[in-house]
């Protein structure tokens, strides 16, 4: 699959994961799963924003990656529900994931899903 993302989104996620298509695909899948797991959180930043996501930079980059069809289908369904394109929602998903990662929410959710920290 090839997706056009903003340079910032791709560099952020690509810098966090190797630029290899398979590893980048795993990163996209993790970001999508994290986003969808927060669906019922009622957090202000969760839904796609009601304003254009163009931002200050017009740089775009294409990312080619492998992702499980079921994960992409879930994202596509959510995008349709929010009345945006799947690629548009993916750009938002990456930013949502990176913000949560930087705030420590991703690590907390992973620990919680494993039943705590083992000593």
Rounded CA gap, 57 and 54, in Å? 7
pTM for the predicted model, two decimal places? 0.69
Q: Do the Cβ atoms of 6 and 60 come closer than 8 Å? A: yes
88 in any annotated domain:
yes
Number of Cβ within 10 Å of residue 114's Cβ equals 9
pLDDT, residue 60, reads 65
Distance between first and last Cα of the chain: 40
Residue 56 has pLDDT above 50, yes or no: no
66 in any annotated domain:
yes
According to DSSP, residue 90 is labeled H
Residue 81 has pLDDT above 80, yes or no: yes
Q: Look at the chain and report how many structural domains it folds into.
A: 1
Q: Do the Cβ atoms of 95 and 32 come closer than 8 Å? A: no
Report CA 36 to chain centroid distance, whole Å.
9
118 in any annotated domain:
no
Whole domain around residue 91: which residue ranges? 2-113
119 in any annotated domain:
no
pLDDT confidence bin for 68, thresholds 50/70/90: confident
């Amino acid at each position: 699959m090839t997706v056009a993302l903003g340079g910032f989104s791709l560099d952020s996620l690509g810098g966090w994961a190797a630029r290899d298509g398979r590893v980048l695909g795993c990163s996209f899948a993790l970001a999508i799963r994290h986003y969808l797991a927060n669906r019922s959180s009622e957090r202000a930043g969760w839904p796609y924003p009601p304003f254009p996501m163009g931002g200050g930079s017009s740089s775009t980059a294409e990312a080619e990656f492998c992702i499980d069809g079921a994960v992409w289908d879930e994202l596509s369904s959510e995008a349709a529900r929010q009345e945006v394109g799947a690629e548009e929602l993916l750009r938002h998903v990456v930013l949502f994931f990176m913000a949560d990662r930087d705030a420590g929410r991703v690590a907390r959710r992973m620990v919680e899903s494993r039943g705590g920290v083992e000593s």
